[in-house]
Amino acid sequence: MNALIAARSISPVACAPPELLYRQAMDRKSSSNVERAAEILLAIGSAGPEGLALSDIAEALDDTKSAIHRALQGLAKHGFVEQSSRRGRYRLGPTIYALSKRSISVTDLVETVRPALVRIGSATRMSTYLMVHSGLDCICLDFQEGIYPIRALLNGVGGRIPLGVSVAGVCILSTFDPATRKVMLEENEAAITAAGFNLEGILAEAQLAAERGFAVRPGMDENDVMSLAVVLPRDWVHAAAAIAVVPPWRDVDPGKVDEIVRLIRAEAARNN
């Protein structure tokens, strides 16, 4: 079966919403207080500015309210989380923002790629995303919104998608050796299954992406569109990263795919 089709049984655009994928990914149970705190921050960050109630966090992480409450108290003490005006709801605190501004590597990466992202978005008029490896996920660090009203899997900067669920994740997986790809996907199996994909298909896609430097998936029905991502050279971005675009058509047109791939590669060469 073609690797483009074998990876999934439903569309990546019309599949389970990001918050459900995140909950499925959290089936990887916390093995320490540090890991629990990290998962709490990721859950709250995925919820947006309104934050989450204690009960919502406990449900998302499949943990007890008492354990979650103790962790929240510790995080709040250092400003990593805070309670919003709506009683009982937690959101990310100012310490997160302060630390992000001190992260020179991430700031430099975004500033390095942003001009290319703007030019690609302007040339294609499509939504364009900078996606970077982050643990068992890929995370959006920057994006340029296109003119086409297409619903994506993530909600702008900071959105996370389990590796393999999106073509950007497939590209990022392709930068690792086959054994590492397999382990990453096995750890993400719950989220991948929830999104309608299978591990064997994604492994085949990742191998194909490793050979040609990009990944593409067609839309699966009249409500779906294709998606395309190109691996970025590590000597340019110094990270496992990809630029993804969401064209407004469903079927894979080799000529159009080649045009977009060449455009993104030209931008990488221009800045390398």
Query: Which part of the chain has CATH 3.30.450.40?
Result: 103-271
- Which pLDDT value is given to residue 222? 61
- Which pLDDT value is given to residue 15? 43
Q: Domain 18-100 falls in which CATH fold?
A: Arc Repressor Mutant, subunit A (1.10.10)
- Nearest alpha-carbon partner for 246 in 222, 267, 264, 228: 228
- Which pLDDT value is given to residue 149? 60
Please report, for residues 2, 185, 209, 238, the alpha-carbon distance to residue 179 in angstroms, rounded to integers and kept in the order given: 22, 10, 16, 22
Percent of the chain with pLDDT over 90: 27
Residue 5 has pLDDT above 50, yes or no: no
Give pLDDT tens digits for 79-125.
Answer: 888 887 656 788 888 887 777 666 557 778 888 899 999 999 899 88
Secondary structure class of 121 (helix, strand, coil): helix
Query: Which part of the chain has CATH 1.10.10.10?
Result: 18-100
- Which pLDDT value is given to residue 262? 94
- Which pLDDT value is given to residue 12? 36
* CATH for 103-271, options being 1.10.8.60, 3.60.15.10, 3.30.450.40, 3.90.1170.10: 3.30.450.40
Describe the crossing of helices 54-61 and 33-47 by its angle, rounded to 10 degrees: 120
- Which pLDDT value is given to residue 223? 60
Residue 59 has pLDDT above 70, yes or no: yes
Give pLDDT tens digits for 12-51.
Answer: 333 444 444 444 444 444 457 888 888 888 888 888 777 8
Cβ pair 195, 8 in contact under 8 A: yes
**Is residue 202 very low, low, confident or very high in pLDDT (cuts 50, 70, 90)?**
very high
- Which pLDDT value is given to residue 6? 40
Where is pLDDT greater, at 129 or 250? Answer: 129
φ and ψ of 217, to 5 deg:
-130, 135
Secondary structure class of 195 (helix, strand, coil): coil
- Which pLDDT value is given to residue 212? 93
Where is pLDDT greater, at 70 or 156? Answer: 70
Cβ pair 160, 42 in contact under 8 A: yes
Residue 183 has pLDDT above 80, yes or no: yes
- Which pLDDT value is given to residue 119? 93
Dist. CA 59–CA 70, nearest whole Å: 15
Give pLDDT tens digits for 222-246.
Answer: 666 678 999 999 888 888 899 999 8
Mean pLDDT, to the nearest integer, of 240-269? Answer: 87
Residue 54 has pLDDT above 80, yes or no: yes
Report the mean per-residue pLDDT for the chain: 80
Residue 179 has pLDDT above 50, yes or no: yes
Tokens 């690792």 -> residue: 176
- Nearest alpha-carbon partner for 130 in 109, 152, 105: 109
- Which pLDDT value is given to residue 46? 81
Secondary structure class of 241 (helix, strand, coil): strand
